[in-house]
Structure 1
Amino acid sequence: MQYRLLKPELGHRLPSVNSTNEWIRNPEIPFGSWVIAEEQTEGKGRGNNIWQSLGEEPLIFSGKLRLSAAEISLPLLSIFVSSALLKTIFAFFPDREEDTTIKWPNDIYKHEKKVAGILVQSEFTNGVYDVVIGIGLNFFGNLIPEPLIDKATYLCESKMGEGELERFVNHLVIEINQAVINLLDPSQVMKDLVWIEAHSLLKNKVIEAEWEERIVRGRVLGIDELGFLLIMTETGQKIELMDTSPKFRMI
């Protein structure tokens, strides 16, 4: 099949939208398109959650791809998109390498507070994934809403320069495309997983999670080649987690 990666020339910018993910899922919007919005009124998070953009300069982004289901693991795609975003952050803000990491499966944290979330939505038809990637990143602001003060923060301590958001997004589009290309090469997958684990918030952490309808506690070992989180439980059992749950937490 012919892949449809993001195309720099198919970018859109909107002043306001309900949801960039919903906007770009319109069948009239071709694959390879991407969009950023200055405002989003009904941002989508994982599950039934919402994404609340914070501050004066949020990144509100969605991109639309078409991929072969036989060659792509969606959990792995999610974590690779996270790495694409983190690599873009490091390219523009090198100081963030000291304190900014990936929280499996698809969030970016500064210290232990969230600065970005990623939502990958897909539809499967005839061996093909039609994929929409949504990214929300809170660059800069002065205040955090009281309910989020212990959970969220901003990436930067000052406003971005003129045109920097556009340059950031253009770089992000390139990194997302490269992440998809790397997914097609098993040797490159392992190299990227080593990089991801080196920049993982959960590296060597002890966590609690729901697994097979019970709560387990264990130490994080890493991420496998399908994107699942590997942990060693207190009883010495090695298990794989496909996703987080409301009961997932670091100890």
Structure 2
Amino acid sequence: MQYRLLKPELGHRLPSVSSTNEWIRDPEIPFGSWVIADEQTAGKGRGQNVWQSLGEDPLIFSGKIRLSAAEISLPLVSIFISSALLKTIYRFFPERLEDTTIKWPNDIYKKDKKVAGILVQSEFTNGVYDIVIGIGLNFFGKQIPEHLNEKATYLCENPLGEGDLERFANQLVLEINQAVITLLDQSQVLKDLVWIEEHSLLKNKVIETEWEERMVRGRVLGIDELGFLLIMTETGQKIELMDTSPKFRII
């Protein structure tokens, strides 16, 4: 099949939109397109959650790609898109190498607070995944809303310069494409998973989560080749998590 990765020349910028993910899902918008918006009034998070962009300098991004379902593990897409975002952050803000990591499966954390979230939505038809990638990143702001003060923060201590947002978005497009190309080459997947684990907030952490209708506690071993989180429980049982439950927490 013909893959449809993001194309730099198919970028859009909108002053305001209800949701960039919904905007780009329009069938009239071709695959390979991507968009950034200055404002989003009804951003989408996982499940029924909403994504609230914070501060004066947010990145509000969505892109649309098409991939063969036979050649890709969908759970890996979120974690590899997270790695693409983190690599872009490191490129532009090398000082963040010391304190910014991936929180499996699809968030970016600065120390112990969230700075970015990723929402991957897919539709399966005739052996093909149509995938919409939504990314929200809070670059800079003067204050955090009180109800998020313990959970969220900003990536940067200073405002972005002129043109920085556009340059960041264009580099992110390239990194997302490279992440997808890597996913299509099994010989490269494990190599990138090693990099992801080295830059993981959960590396060697003890976590507690709901699993098979009961609470379990264990140490994170890593991420397998399908994108599942591997846990060794207190009782010595090795389990795989496909996603975090609402009760997931780091001990």
TM-score normalised over the length of structure 2: 1.00
Secondary structure of the 1:142 match is: coil
The AA in structure 1 aligned to 2:117 is G
Please provide the CA RMSD for this pair. 0.4
**In 1, Cα distance between equivalents of 2:178 and 2:107:** 19
The AA in structure 1 aligned to 2:199 is H
**In 2, Cα distance between equivalents of 1:68 and 1:162:** 39
Q: Which residue of 1 aligns with 2:199?
A: 199
Q: Which residue of 1 aligns with 2:105?
A: 105
Q: Deviations over 1:151-182 (max 9, x none)?
A: 00000000111101100000000000000000
**In 2, Cα distance between equivalents of 1:191 and 1:250:** 26
Secondary structure of the 1:70 match is: helix
Secondary structure of the 1:66 match is: strand
The AA in structure 2 aligned to 1:188 is Q
The AA in structure 1 aligned to 2:96 is R
**1:213 Cα deviation after fit:** 1.0
The AA in structure 2 aligned to 1:225 is E
Structure 2, unmatched stretches of 5+, are none
**In 1, Cα distance between equivalents of 2:214 and 2:48:** 22
The AA in structure 2 aligned to 1:92 is F
The AA in structure 1 aligned to 2:188 is Q
- Are residue 141 (structure 1) and residue 141 (structure 2) matched? yes
Q: Which residue of 2 aligns with 1:249?
A: 249
Q: Which residue of 2 aligns with 1:228?
A: 228
**In 1, Cα distance between equivalents of 2:221 and 2:48:** 29
**In 2, Cα distance between equivalents of 1:57 and 1:74:** 31
Q: Which residue of 2 aligns with 1:181?
A: 181
- Are residue 14 (structure 1) and residue 11 (structure 2) matched? no
**In 1, Cα distance between equivalents of 2:106 and 2:96:** 18
**In 1, Cα distance between equivalents of 2:29 and 2:76:** 25
**In 1, Cα distance between equivalents of 2:156 and 2:104:** 22
Q: Deviations over 1:18-73 (max 9, x none)?
A: 00000000000000000000000000000111000000000000000000001111
Structure 1, unmatched stretches of 5+, are none
- Aligned-pair identity (%): 86
**In 2, Cα distance between equivalents of 1:187 and 1:248:** 32
**In 2, Cα distance between equivalents of 1:143 and 1:205:** 30
The AA in structure 1 aligned to 2:13 is R
The AA in structure 2 aligned to 1:122 is S
**1:206 Cα deviation after fit:** 0.3
**1:185 Cα deviation after fit:** 1.1
Runs of 4+ aligned residues of structure 1 deviating over 3 Å after TM superposition are none
The AA in structure 1 aligned to 2:99 is D
Q: Which residue of 1 aligns with 2:169?
A: 169
Q: Deviations over 1:96-155 (max 9, x none)?
A: 000000000000000000000000000000000000000000000011000000000000
**In 1, Cα distance between equivalents of 2:187 and 2:215:** 34
Secondary structure of the 1:225 match is: coil
The AA in structure 1 aligned to 2:11 is G
Equivalences for residues 1-251 of structure 1 within 5 A: 1-251=1-251
**In 1, Cα distance between equivalents of 2:242 and 2:57:** 33
Q: Deviations over 1:168-224 (max 9, x none)?
A: 000000000000000011121011000000000000000011111111100000000
Q: How many residues align?
A: 251
TM-score normalised over the length of structure 1: 1.00
